[in-house]
A and B are shown apart, each in its own frame.
Chain A
Amino acid sequence: MLYREAGQFKTSYAADQQLFPIRQDRIGILVLLAVAFLGIPGMASEYWFSAILIPFLIFALAALGLNILTGYAGQLSLGSAAFMAVGAYAAYNFQLRVEGIPILVSFLMAGVTAAGVGVLFGLPSLRIKGFYLAVATLAAQFFIVWCLTKFPWLSNNSSSGVISAQKVEILGHVFESPREKYLLVLSIVVVMALAARNLVRTSTGRAWMAVRDMDVAASVIGIRLMPTKLLAFAVSSFYCGVAGALYAYCYLGSVEPDGFSLEMSFKILFMIIIGGVGSILGSFLGAAFILLLPIFLDVTLPWLAGLFHLPFSNATVSHIQMLVFGALIMFFLIVEPHGLARLWQIAKEKLRLWPFPH
């Protein structure tokens, strides 16, 4: 009833091909963007910006990058954190060594550098598939972290290998407060997410999906495997690289190679598995689930314990939080193996019929 396309006629090709063909979706997205751009900056506290919203957006972007590679093109990768590291260090070096380079150009170049590195590590994908490819991308994870530690030039000879991000200045305006940084991150993420949504429905995106579903068949119908796979690696790493640069410049402020560990790659992989493989929305839902649920539990558990007068120490809360978190992941995977995005899709279909299911 609420969510029905009946009566929405598409009278032109443009109307038929738009990003969100259903009117309700368009309205929903506009409302969401309005809330994100206008509502939240007025309401949220500094804690919300710098501890919840900014990391959420950045990880959603990284998950989106991995989703392009794994979800759409079917190439399993365990190197997302490493590509983020490339992005962070590349942005730092461009800012440092190129006089007067605008920060947004640095971010762009960070993405391009990461894309280059991604293509390099994507080369094995031409010969190997599935789990074996995952192991090959694992090499990227170790190699890049090693490389960033090994060559002091990359961290401007900092004795500890830690880099600290320069000021974020655009057109003379310094982005300093968490609110401004949030708006910057949000703008970049929105643009890139819409671009990704557009990309996956073009011929490139359809070629990726064809390769994912069966690469032999795809090559038979005339899709050239090498450029298609490598392009997926490039685009995916580009997204991860930009996410890495934002991670360094807008979130932590200083990063070290060890921070971009395998654990972080796994975290991003879990985000797309929980959120939904092969779905733009899923990247956001997954990032929210993996990042926000522990914080939510961390805040509510002590409160609950206090309510029932249970003698919980901080450590116990932390242990329980891990238990609950693990249990919830299993619960969602059993109930809906296709991720949270699929739940949303089912809800949409139900809403389409509601209240007359027959």
Chain B
Amino acid sequence: MIKNLKPAVAAVAVSLALLSQSAMAAEEQFFPIVSYRVGPYGANGQAFYGGFVDYLNYVNMKEGGVNGVKLAWEECETEYNNAKGVECYERLKGKAKSSAGPIHTMSTGISYALIEKAAADKLPLAMMGYGRTDAVDGSVFPYAFPLVTTYQMQASAIVKFLKDKENGSLAGKKIVYLYHDSAYGKEPIVALQAEASLNKFELSLIPVAHPGNEQGAQWLKIRQEKPDYVIFWGWGVMNQTAMKAAQKVGFPRDKMVGSWWAGSEEDTVPAGEAAKGYMSATWNVAGKSVPLIADIEKSVYGAGKGNLQDTSKLGTILYNRGVSAAVLSVEAIRKAQEKFGKGKAMNGEQVRWGLENLAITDARLKQIGATDLLPEIKTSCNNHEGSGKVKIQQWDGTKWTPVSSWIEGNKGLIHPLFESSAKQYAKEKGITPRDCSKEKI
């Protein structure tokens, strides 16, 4: 009897061991991806989320996930619509209870709608180069991360770039700020005004109504004012229209500096000849010369697992931006695993800690293959931005080439603006800010 039982017990034991092993192997890190690939800005979304998903795939293929934890994801289409974004978030939230990567919406409107919800649900919300900028102050916004840099810091960095170009002084110069008349375009105004009074240049504000495909009047005004530079905050169809209009009134394109949403191939290619010489800020570099991008093309697309249908988008600004976003997300998970246990799936709270304690040096970037793809980043409780640096790039008619090194905006001038705005928000909402000095690292 006992003899007969032995193999059975052994079989049960083995199968139990196998089971637990397979349960171990099934450890997955889930990414709720609230994306858009159709709708008015679909082209931008395709490149960004293509890059994002490609990198997640790449990590799975190359390393078998983060310390053995496979990356999994589900996408939900928002069409850049706030209400749909909220619906998508609510739908994916249920699956993100036990493990959740940072949520990237690539839409300021959706981010705004999710800030409170994400904090209540303890899910980290990343807003890389968009969204609510005063969330830099992590004591009020523990779950929101305007990573890398913000509109205000970018505006300040552009001013610094122009100042360097003018041999260190902008006094008496005239700068026109031409902007998309929405939350996006209005946000940098405070920063530019502060810079104007500091550097004694004259600032003139010219808004363009959405969608911005008619800018005749604005450029006529620019021609009358004869500014030394135009700082340009456009989005979508407004960008190419501006370049064509500038050409029409004879304003030199190399005196125009756009924001990073006005500096992708999707903007310059349709403008054709008019875009040549146009400059823009960016927090990630374009091109396939970055080893990581080349390797993604070779291994992910080589294996036929690429996410882009239109492979000509590989290596474009927005594609590389998507990869950069994914790199930071994965690094945050890696960091969180170091603290909370390697080889385990991290939940929203743990990933939040990872995002708040990112320290990505150039050496680490080189290790990943992302040499110079994005600036070094070091976040903390009272600095959810982590860098504040941008490069200025110029369109030469066929591709973007960087014309500066990483430029940091004037932190001493800009960050107090964030703090006071965050304080006002905390007061309105009745939030007691965390004490950052008590945060454990």
Contacts and interface: CB of A to CB of B under 8 A. Distances in A.
Interface of A: 45-47, 50-52, 55, 96, 146, 149, 159-162, 164, 166-167, 176, 251-254, 256, 258-259, 295, 298, 313-315, 317-319
Given A50-B86, A259-B82, A164 B112 contact: yes
Contact of A252 (B86, B91, B184, B209): B86
Contacts of A253: 113, 115-117
Nearest to A152: B186
7 contacts: A52-B87, A146-B209, A149-B182, A160-B183, A161-B183, A256-B109, A298-B77
Nearest to A252: B113
B429 A258 contact: no
Contacts, number: 95
A162 B116 CA distance: 14
Contacts of A50: 86, 90, 117
Interface in B216-254: none
A80 to B, nearest CB: 15
Nearest to B190: A159
A162 B112 contact: yes
A298 B83 CA distance: 14
B216 to A, nearest CB: 19
Contacts of A52: 87
A252 B83 contact: yes
B149 to A, nearest CB: 17
A248 B79 CA distance: 20
A47 B86 CA distance: 10
A315 B109 contact: no
A52 B90 CA distance: 10
Contacts of B46: 315
B91 A166 contact: no
A51 B77 contact: no
A258 B185 CA distance: 12
A319 B36 CA distance: 12
A160 B186 CA distance: 5
Given A164-B428, A256-B183, A159 B189 contact: yes
B35 interface: yes
Contacts of B79: 318
Contacts of A164: 112, 115-116, 425, 428-429
Given A164-B112, A295-B87, A318-B77, A149 B37 contact: no
B421 A159 contact: yes
A45 B190 contact: no
B429 A47 contact: no
Nearest to B134: A159
Given A159-B189, A164-B425, A256-B183, A46 B90 contact: yes
Given A159-B187, A314-B76, 13 more contacts: A50-B86, A50-B117, A51-B86, A52-B87, A55-B83, A159-B189, A160-B132, A164-B112, A164-B425, A167-B430, A252-B86, A314-B37, A315-B38
B372 interface: no
A293 B130 CA distance: 31
Interface in B64-110: 75-77, 79, 82-83, 86-87, 90-91, 93-94, 108-109
A252 B83 CA distance: 8
Pick the most buried of A253, A315, A317: most chain B CB atoms within 10 A of its CB: A315
B342 interface: no
B73 to A, nearest CB: 11
B182 A314 contact: no
A51 B309 CA distance: 31
Interface of B: 35, 37-38, 42, 46, 75-77, 79, 82-83, 86-87, 90-91, 93-94, 108-109, 112-113, 115-117, 120, 132, 181-184, 186-187, 189-190, 209-210, 309, 421, 425, 428-430
Contacts of B117: 50, 253
Contacts of A161: 182-183, 186
Contact of A166 (B35, B184, B429): B429
A157 to B, nearest CB: 9
Contacts of B112: 162, 164, 254, 256
> Would you list the 10 A-B pairs with minimal beta carbon distance, nearest first?
A160-B183, A51-B90, A315-B37, A51-B87, A318-B77, A47-B90, A254-B112, A318-B38, A314-B75, A252-B113
Contacts of A317: 77
A313 B75 CA distance: 10
A163 to B, nearest CB: 10
Contacts of A176: 120
Contacts of B35: 314
Contacts of B87: 51-52, 55, 295
A302 to B, nearest CB: 10
A339 B138 CA distance: 51
B428 A149 contact: no
A160 to B, nearest CB: 4
Contacts of A318: 37-38, 77, 79
A259 B109 contact: yes
A83 B362 CA distance: 52
B93 A252 contact: no
B118 to A, nearest CB: 11
A103 to B, nearest CB: 14
A166 B425 CA distance: 10
A146 B113 CA distance: 21
A96 B79 CA distance: 33
A7 B112 CA distance: 58
Contacts of A96: 428
Nearest to A291: B83
Contacts of A314: 35, 37, 75-77
A162 B209 CA distance: 16
Nearest to B182: A258
A312 to B, nearest CB: 12
B90 A315 contact: no
Nearest to B33: A314
Pick the most buried of A55, A164, A176, A252: most chain B CB atoms within 10 A of its CB: A252
Contacts of B94: 45-47
A313 B91 CA distance: 18
Contacts of A298: 76-77
Contacts of A146: 209
A253 B109 CA distance: 11
Contacts of B82: 252, 259
Given A50-B86, A149-B182, A254-B113, A167 B38 contact: no
A81 B406 CA distance: 44
B115 A51 contact: no
B429 to A, nearest CB: 7
B140 to A, nearest CB: 12
A50 B190 CA distance: 35
Pick the most buried of A46, A51, A96, A167: most chain B CB atoms within 10 A of its CB: A51
Nearest to A50: B90
Nearest to B207: A149
Contacts of B187: 159-160
Contacts of B38: 315, 318-319
Contacts of B132: 160
A317 to B, nearest CB: 7
B34 to A, nearest CB: 11
